[in-house]
Amino acid sequence: MKNRIFATIALSFLAGSVVAATEAEYKAAVADAKAEQKKAAELRHEWTTVAKFLKSADKAAKAGKFEQAVSLAQKAKQHAELGQFQAQEQKDAGPRF
Amino acid sequence: MKPVIALAAALLATAVQASPEQDISEFQAYYEKRFPAFSLNEYVDGAYILPVYADGRAQWEEVEEFPPYEANVEAGETLWNQSFANGKMYADCFTAPLEKIRASHPYFDEATQQVVTLEYALNNCRKENGEKPLKWKKGPIADLSAFLAWQSRGQKIDVKIESEGARKAYEEGKQFFYAKRGQLNMSCADCHVYNAGNKARSEVLSPALGHVSHWPVYRAKWSELGTLHRRYGGCNKNIRATPQKAQSEAYRNLEFFHTAMSNGLEFNGPGYRK
């Protein structure tokens, strides 16, 4: 019986620490994505997908689905970086008649 | 030594860059070649001149007989004739005669080193007279713009790029126009130059030449009158690019370039579009 109680306590601590770590990861992923989003916006090459992914990430986080939320925040970051890459690629854009 | 290198680089850049006159000539020649049946000024009617739009044109002509923007022109006239709290009026802010106000915008203001569009000038006028600025995309500012556009019908588009500052704004507008953006990786030119007259899903892509002549526009999709910058924002969203703010420097520079490309065509605003 004692062992079972210890096991339950140990498991709940473990579960708690996993959730806490994932939430922290989510917050870090969002901060990263927002920093890249800001850079893309300054270059006038932000994609609308960035805000959409961040909104979905927020929704997932509020539902406690941190793994999904982290994944969505990472997608937002990726799209923000792609916008910056696009800005660099297109800086000398001109007509192709 | 450094200034010499900078000067050489600047000279080289100028040598490589086409002049606005060259740009305008090549831009208009492109459409003349693409659609040889139309004269330049016919482009002020947008996609409705294209054969692919033949049925739509008849419908559009009917709408233009009793246009839905008539009430906006009247509302704009009332606003134009109202005095501000300090007793002054919009007319006090403009030096051009009424029928030339629309046609004298956009222009490059040397004092502020900024492009001044018609709507930007109207709100500057309000601010200078202690009034709250109007919202940019629709409502009273579009009504005022419609009234002034109505007065300028038939006036020629004649954007002047005569200083270093104006040239810089023009080049920024040009880069914005030709740069691919958004998740769909498309530029303004991809749709409205290279694919003008082709369809994107069920819609015909309008030619960029003549785009600016008929604003503000009463769009059936909006069920109301809206400004050019409202449309810029919508276009950017369509390609999944986060729009710039209406009357931001980026969009004002874009309008400067975009309007210059139609130099020589006539203003025919306000207009009706699907």
Please report which confidence band the pLDDT of residue B2 belongs to, taking 50, 70 and 90 as the band edges.
low
Residue A61 pLDDT class (50, 70, 90 cuts): very high
Q: Mind giving me the DSSP string for B171-231?
A: HHHHHHHHS-BTTTTB-HHHHHTTTTTSEETTEEPPPSTTGGGG-SEEETTTTEEE-HHHH
pLDDT greater than 80 at residue B1: no
Spatial contact of B255 and B115, defined as CB atoms under 8 Å apart: yes
Q: Which amino acid is present at B11?
A: L
Measured CA to CA in angstroms, residue B54 lies from A18, B37, B47, B48, B51 at distances of 65, 14, 10, 7, 5
Question: Least CB-CB distance to A95: which of B181, B185, B189?
Answer: B189
Task: Give the bridge partners for A47, in sequence order.
Answer: B241
What is the spatial distance between Cα B122 and Cα B145, in angstroms, rounded to a whole number?
Answer: 9
Domains of chain B (ranges plus CATH)? Answer: 20-67+163-273 (1.10.760.10), 70-151 (1.10.760.10)
B125 among known catalytic residues: no
Alpha carbon distance B171, B168 (integer Å)? 5
Residue A97 and residue B179: Cβ atoms within 8 Å? Answer: no
Nearest CA in chain B to A38: B242
Categorize the per-residue pLDDT at A9 as very low, low, confident or very high, splitting at 50, 70 and 90: very low
pLDDT class for B4, splitting at 50, 70, 90? low
- Which A positions 67-86 lie with beta carbon below 8 A of chain B? 79, 82-83, 86
What is the residue-wise DSSP string for B60-124? HHHHHHS-TTHHHHHHHHHHHHSPPTTS--GGGG--S-HHHHGGG-SEEETTTTEEE-HHHHHHH
Q: Retrieve residue B149's tokens.
A: 């556009």
Our CA-based measurement puts residue B192 at a distance from the nearest CA of chain A, in whole angstroms, of 12
Report domain extents, chain A: 21-89
ipTM here = 0.88
Q: Give the C-alpha separation, B19 to B2, whole Å.
A: 27
User: What are B200's strand-pairing partners?
Assistant: B203
Task: State how beta strands B217-219 and B271-273 pair.
Answer: parallel
Average pLDDT, integer, range B267-273: 97
Mean pLDDT calculated for residue range B170-174? 98
Q: What CA–CA distance (Å, rounded) separates B125 from A24?
A: 50
% of chain A surpassing 90 pLDDT: 76
Q: Which of A36, A38, A48 to mutate to test binding with chain B, by most B CBs within 10 Å of its CB?
A: A48
Is A43 at the interface with chain B, CB within 8 A? Answer: no
